[in-house]
Amino acid sequence: MISAGDYSALLTTVKLASVSTAFLLLLSIPLAWWLTRTQWRFKFVVEALIALPLVLPPTVLGFYLLIMFNPSGFLGSSFTALTGSNLAFSFSGLVIGSILYSLPFVVQPLQNSFESIDRDILETASTLGANSVDRLVSVVLPIAFPGLVTASVLGFAHTLGEFGVVLMIGGNIPGETKVASIAIYEHVESLNYTEAHTLSALLLGMSLVLLMLVYATGQRVLRR
């Protein structure tokens, strides 16, 4: 019912979404916590940069990433020096692109739930001997757990639907960078409507289930 190529594209998609979400959480938790706590005057600059992918055409983001991934560019050359492989048209490159592309979808729900935590609770934890990192792990994350679920699911689901950025930096290498959205595009181009239907229905179902999970946790999804 589903071809080996399409199966591999789906697998790449899920792998990409999982790896990106893991990195996104590692990056976004400290970032959102810092945004919640900082008194820095120019924090709005950081917030605007994070929110940029919400409004930017994915092709623009993809174009700049492609330039940076160029083996003669700074990011591309340091990556090659470190790992011996190329960033452009690689799975690692896709992960970096996805992290940037889905960042606002993870940072914003986290920041929302961090900001709603009562100051007294955190100060109580301090008086009981918890330093800043300890407070984050032992108090903030458990209280913000629904926000954490929302952030992970949104990050995952948004990466599933990624198309523009992948098209620019990923190319079309089966088993490596060919994701489901690209496969659907190709099927339509070559008039293979049956395959396009199957893959589209699968993506639709997965996204719907994931979004239902978000709303079921009863959280405000995004602050726009």
Partner 1 sequence: MLNARITLSNRGFVGESKISVGPGEVLGLWGDSGCGKTSLLRSIAGLEQQPHSEVIFNNLIWQNDRKFLPVYERRIGFVFQSPSLFEFKNVEQNLRYGLERAKKDFSSNTWFENIVKLPGVSPLLKKMPSTLSGGQLQRVALARALCMQPQLLLLDEPITALDKGSKLKILPFLEEIIKDFAIPCIYVSHSLEEVARISDRIAVMEEGRITKINTASELLADLDFIADLKMDSPGVFYARVAEIDEDFGLMTMKTALGMIRAVKAKNVVVGDRMTISISPRDVSVGLEPKQVSSILNRLEGKISEIIDIDVSQSFVKISIKDTYLVAKVTRKSRMALELKRGDRVFAQIKSLAIV
Q: Binding residues for partner 1, per CB under 8 A?
A: 118, 120-121, 123-131, 134, 138-139, 142-143, 145
Q: How far is the CB of 162 from partner 1 (least distance, A)?
A: 34
The H-assigned helical ranges of the chain are 4-37, 43-55, 58-69, 74-83, 91-115, 119-127, 132-135, 141-143, 145-160, 164-169, 180-189, 193-216
Q: How far is the CB of 193 from partner 1 (least distance, A)?
A: 50
Q: How far is the CB of 151 from partner 1 (least distance, A)?
A: 18
Q: How far is the CB of 110 from partner 1 (least distance, A)?
A: 17
Other beta carbons less than 10 A from residue 17's beta carbon: 25
Measured distance CA(58)–CA(86) in Å, rounded: 22
DSSP one-letter string for 69-117? HSTTSHHHHHHHHHHSS-STTSHHHHHHHHHHHHHHHHHHHHHHHHHTS
Tell me if 20 sits within 8 A of 159, measured CB to CB.
Answer: yes
Measured distance CA(156)–CA(167) in Å, rounded: 18
